[in-house]
């Protein structure tokens, strides 16, 4: 049985039902997260759970607070209130690298440029980057270098193969197309072997062919047990991939349901019509 975290709020008479809580094995849990920017309440008491093994979608009109929520969960923004757990470890107010070490990795809506690095180098920094570990000890202890480095290189190569970009390994990252960079960013995020992966608009600005490839990669990883929480504006993409889907509106959870439940909910339709549009 799941219960609803009752929330009431603005948007005329909209009932903010809240997310489904009380899941059996949540890998990620938030409780009453709050964030304001000046007078603006960007996150207004968000409690959500992501069940291990799921692809959980997150949708909502522009400015609903989706990216802010990711920033709060992953430790990139300071909280004004609330708590976060990853794998039952409380990560409230932890630094991003500590949250990553607890098993949560996130990607950014706009991929960061990887100046001066080849894809191979970017992947190896990725293996250590978000978790905050230093690669320096590897250089200082030569016997360890060979073993650990080889393992990292092999893992990086496997990930590049999985994302079908193994042929790019020696390319300077500045030579990559936008689509290729997107795939490198995805592959790189997985080098930390996260328990839950948060993707912020993975197919924004991506052509339909690549979007389909990305959908297939996500599905394959999920079939092998990878858990995802995915923000996406592309409705057909997210409705095809995710279940359940959580709807954010004006910093609050409007509802959570199956893609069909969400699609046919009048409040969701109203939120998109009343907001900045999908
Ligand atoms: P979404 O990802 O759902 O489109 P965001 O989380 O990016 O929405 O933004 C939610 C609200 O918070 C918006 O009104 C946005 O302008 C505001 N906001 C987000 N980040 C910041 C910030 N760093 N400084 C000030 N306002 C911000
Ligand atoms: Mg956003």
Q: Could you tell me if residue 183 is inside a domain?
A: no
Nearest CA to ligand 1 atom 7: 67
Do 151 and 96 lie in a common domain? no
Asked if residue 55 and residue 27 are part of one domain, the reply reads: yes
Atom 20 of ligand 1, nearest CA residue: 68
Higher-scoring residue by pLDDT: 1, 25? 25
Instruction: Identify which of 39, 40, 41, 63 to mutate to test ligand 1's pocket (most ligand atoms within 8 A of the CB).
Output: 63
Q: Which atom of ligand 1 is nearest to the CA of 251?
A: 10
Which ligand is the nearest neighbour of the Cα of 69? 1
- Counting the structural domains of the chain, the total is 2
Q: What is the mean pLDDT of residues 219-234?
A: 96
The overall average pLDDT reported for the chain is 88
Centre of ligand 2 to C-alpha 69, Å, is 9
User: Given this model, what pLDDT does residue 111 score?
Assistant: 66
**How many C-beta atoms surround the C-beta of residue 121 within 10 A?**
16
What percentage of the chain carries pLDDT values higher than 70?
85
161 and 104: one domain?
no
- How far, in Å, is the centroid of ligand 2 from the Cα of 110? 10
User: In terms of domains, do 158 and 35 share one?
Assistant: no
User: Are 95 and 215 contained in the same domain?
Assistant: yes
Atom 19 (ligand 1) nearest CA: 68
Q: Is residue 187 part of a domain?
A: no
**pLDDT tens profile 69-120:** 999 999 999 999 999 999 999 999 999 999 999 999 998 877 666 778 889 8
pLDDT of residue 1: 43
Q: In the structure, which protein residues have their CB atom closer than 6 angstroms to any atom of ligand 1?
A: 37, 40, 42, 60, 62-68
In a domain, 91, yes or no: yes
Distance 227 CA to ligand 1 centre (A): 25
pLDDT per position as a tens digit, 121-157: 888 876 555 555 545 555 556 565 667 777 878 888 9
pLDDT for 244 beyond 90: yes
Q: Does 132 fall in a domain?
A: yes
| Predicted model pTM | 0.89
Last residue of a domain, one of 126, 150, 175: 175
Alpha carbon nearest to ligand 1 atom 22, residue: 37
Per-residue pLDDT averaged across 201-211, rounded? 93
What pLDDT is stored for residue 273 in this prediction? 77
- 182 domain-assigned: no
Same domain for 239 and 133:
no
240 with 219, same domain: the answer is: yes
**Domain identity same for 10 and 82:** yes
Q: What is the CATH number of the domain that holds 240?
A: 3.40.50.300
Is the same domain home to 212 and 262?
A: yes
| Co-location of 262 and 161 in the same domain | no
Flag whether 185 is in a domain. Answer: no
Residue 48 maps to a domain:
yes
Q: Identify whether 181 is part of a domain.
A: no
- Looking at residue 108, what is its pLDDT? 80
Residues 135 and 241 occupy one common structural domain:
no
| Residue 53: partners with Cβ closer than 8 Å, 6 or more residues away | 25, 222, 225, 227
* Same domain? 240 vs 102: yes
Instruction: Specify the ligand 1 atom closest to the Cα of 62.
Output: 4
What is the rounded average pLDDT of the residues 204-232? 96
Host domain of residue 137: 115-175
- From atom 15 of ligand 1, which residue's Cα is the shortest distance away? 63
Kindly state the tokens that stand for 20. Answer: 């489904």
């Amino acid at each position: 049985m799941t219960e609803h975290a009752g929330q009431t709020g603005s948007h005329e008479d909209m009932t903010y039902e809240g997310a489904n809580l009380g899941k059996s094995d949540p890998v990620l849990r938030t409780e009453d997260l709050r964030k304001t920017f000046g007078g603006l309440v960007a996150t207004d008491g968000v409690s959500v759970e992501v069940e291990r093994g799921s692809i959980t979608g997150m949708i909502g009109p522009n400015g609903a607070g989706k990216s802010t929520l990711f920033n709060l969960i992953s430790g990139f923004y300071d909280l004004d209130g609330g708590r976060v757990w990853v794998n039952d470890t409380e990560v409230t107010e932890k630094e991003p690298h500590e949250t990553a070490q607890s098993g949560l990795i996130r990607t950014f809506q706009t991929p960061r440029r990887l100046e001066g690095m080849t894809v191979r180098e970017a992947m190896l920094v990725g293996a250590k980057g978000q978790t905050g570990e230093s690669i320096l000890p590897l250089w200082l202890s030569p016997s360890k270098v060979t073993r650990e480095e080889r393992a990292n290189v092999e893992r990086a190569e496997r990930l590049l193969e999985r994302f079908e970009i193994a042929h790019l390994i020696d390319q300077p990252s500045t030579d990559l197309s936008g689509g290729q960079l997107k795939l490198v960013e995805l592959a790189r995020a997985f080098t930390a072997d996260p328990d839950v992966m948060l993707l912020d608009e993975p197919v924004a600005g991506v052509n339909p062919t690549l979007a389909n490839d990305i959908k297939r990669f996500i599905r394959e990883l999920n079939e092998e047990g990878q858990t995802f929480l995915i923000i996406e504006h592309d409705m057909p993409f997210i409705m095809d991939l995710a279940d359940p889907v959580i709807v954010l509106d004006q910093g609050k959870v409007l509802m959570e349901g199956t893609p069909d439940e969400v699609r046919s909910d009048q409040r969701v339709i109203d939120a998109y019509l009343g907001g900045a549009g999908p």
